[in-house]
Amino acid sequence: MLVVACLNVCLDTYKFALGWILIAHLQALFYSALRCSREMLIVNDATKSLVAAVSNRLSALCFHMREYYWVDMKKINEIYRYKTEEYSTDAVNKFNIYPEQIPSWLVDWISEDGGYFIGNVQPAHMDFRFFTLGNLWAIVSSLGTTSQNQGILNLIEAKWDDIVAQMPLKICYPALESEEWRIITGCDPKNTPWSYHNGGSWPTLLWQFTLACMKMGRPDLAEKAVDSAGKRLSLDKWPEYYDTRNGRFIGKQSRLMQTWTIAGFLTSKMLLENQEKASLLFWEEDFELLQNCVCMLSKTGRRKCSRFASRSQFLV
């Protein structure tokens, strides 16, 4: 009954938040929580309506994220050529995004064979920053398609010096600087550029990166990151986070001997040594779930819904 009550509150809160903002970082965590909850529910007359509501929410969220939050070279070039002020049901530019909103850093930064889920999509505004936690959990929970999940790891590998650097892993990239930092953070002294939540490096993300790599058959990337972290964490007394663009300095206000830093490193080592255990912590694609996806793409000029693309990748 506790699970049922928590799920009802969670779904009601999500409906309220959905009307204001959709942040990819939170959506990936919410999607994972719903998949956990659905596994815990016993289907009977008392819970079948709730199970249906959870499944519908999962389907809708999965479709929305895959279709509107994913960017790669192809998608960015499509946005670059968007027509604006389209308001019909046939509109391709559904959120009225202006091509001028593509930041200059992204044009040269995005790799040819990589991609990621951007930070946020709102009418006439997109946050193109890369948020590590949301993208890692998109892989772990199968929020992304197989191709998208591979694209995220391809991007991290191609931009290793930016996202991993000397201490895994950047919480987001790039950091807010100058006027953006002043306006968005209110000149927050803790969130100065490349510090704390504004581009700081958080070792606790290491185990989630390791899990994502193992799911996609890329333990080599995880081993590289773990080796890099192992050279410093113990000597630095297990800090909470690191500062600077390359993660060279212990954070200005970083606490030491942090349990989540130690646990993240040890969990990564254990997963790499016992790779069969990793399958207990991630989800594979649920095609029965995706059957509930209400596909409107036939009205947008796109040929295939994400669920069909995902299915074809699975069969291959």
pLDDT 10s digits, 130-166: 999 999 999 999 999 999 999 999 999 999 999 999 9
pLDDT digits (tens, 9 = 90+) for 178-206: 999 998 889 999 999 999 999 999 999 99
In the predicted model, is pLDDT for residue 279 greater than 60?
yes
Mean pLDDT, residues 121-130: 88
| 230: confidence class by pLDDT, cuts 50, 70, 90 | very high
What pLDDT shows up at residue 47? 86
What pLDDT shows up at residue 23? 78
- In whole angstroms, give the CA distance from residue 203 to residue 26: 20
- In whole angstroms, give the CA distance from residue 29 to residue 53: 18
Mean pLDDT, residues 90-98: 85
In the predicted model, is pLDDT for residue 216 greater than 80?
yes
The CA R_g of the chain, rounded to the nearest whole Å, is 20
In the predicted model, is pLDDT for residue 74 greater than 70?
yes
What pLDDT shows up at residue 306? 44
What pLDDT shows up at residue 93? 86
| 311: confidence class by pLDDT, cuts 50, 70, 90 | very low
In the predicted model, is pLDDT for residue 177 greater than 90?
yes
| 1: confidence class by pLDDT, cuts 50, 70, 90 | very low
| 293: confidence class by pLDDT, cuts 50, 70, 90 | low
Mean pLDDT, residues 76-101: 87
53 CB-near residues (< 8 Å, 6+ apart): 11
Query: Mean pLDDT across the chain, nearest whole number?
Result: 85
Cis before 99? omega within 30 = no
